[in-house]
Structure 1
Amino acid sequence: MSALITMALYQPNMGKEEQLNSVLKNHIKTLEAEDLITSREPIRAQAADGTVIEIFEWKSDQAKDAAHESPAVMKIWNEIMEIAEIKSLSSLDEANHPFPNFAPYSV
């Protein structure tokens, strides 16, 4: 299968915003190092409720599945799950509007 665009949404737990930012600095680097994502520049944004949105491109369905077998990726994902809630796009108020807008977010 061809490449897949994905949106990962993380709402940091109270007081964990900086820690999430620190973990996310390594997230994309780790996916790149494991050769799981394309060279397309990821986009990061933030919803009004503080949810951080990462948009990136998997190389394939197989690459997405391989991420679950990678100890390096699983380490990052486990760190994220300890400090943030994984959310769906529909949970954001912005998703209820056409042409939703989000603030830029940089790590």
Structure 2
Amino acid sequence: MGRVAIVAYKPNPGNEEALRALIKKHASCLREAGLVTDKESFILETKDGAIVEVFEWKSEQAMKNAHKNPKVQQMWREYAEVSTYTPLNRLPEAGKLFADFAPVC
């Protein structure tokens, strides 16, 4: 059974465009590795500039396999260079009953 992931990335100063470029190829990297479903991912932006990605892993095992995949690991290292992971409860929108975000194309 699939597992939906919701991940927030806060760009490091001056790395906003680098983060956007990475996020655009993240789903295809995971898909090529056979780790995520064919469902389209959502890429959203918060009012304070964090980027939120919503996608579906194929399974819990696929999530574990991602940690052993060299291409995925390389991409995650690139994420670490340009951003920090942010807990969802720290997003300004998280305190709202109906959180809304700007879509990122």
**TM-score, normalised via structure 1 length:** 0.95
Match of 1:62 in 2: 61
Aligned mates of 1:26, 1:105 — CA distance in 2: 13
Matches within 5 A, 1:41-80: 41-80=40-79
Match of 2:91 in 1: 92
Match of 1:105 in 2: 104
Question: Hey, which bits of structure 1, 4+ residues long, moved more than 6 A?
Answer: none
Aligned mates of 2:57, 2:102 — CA distance in 1: 24
Aligned mates of 1:39, 1:51 — CA distance in 2: 25
Tell me the CA shift for residue 21 of structure 1: 1.2
AA aligned opposite 2:45: Q
Aligned mates of 2:73, 2:33 — CA distance in 1: 12
What SS does the corresponding residue of 1:39 show, helix, strand or coil? Answer: coil
Tell me the CA shift for residue 25 of structure 1: 2.2
1:7 and 2:6 aligned: yes
Aligned mates of 1:101, 1:25 — CA distance in 2: 21
AA aligned opposite 1:105: V
Cα deviation digits, residues 45-101 of structure 1 (max 9, x gap): 000010000100000000001000000000111100111010111011110110101
What SS does the corresponding residue of 1:45 show, helix, strand or coil? Answer: strand
Tell me the CA shift for residue 22 of structure 1: 1.4
Q: CA RMSD for the aligned pairs?
A: 0.7
**TM-score, normalised via structure 2 length:** 0.97
Aligned mates of 1:43, 1:25 — CA distance in 2: 10
Aligned mates of 1:3, 1:21 — CA distance in 2: 25
What SS does the corresponding residue of 1:40 show, helix, strand or coil? Answer: coil
Give unpaired runs (5+ residues) of structure 2: none
What SS does the corresponding residue of 1:44 show, helix, strand or coil? Answer: strand
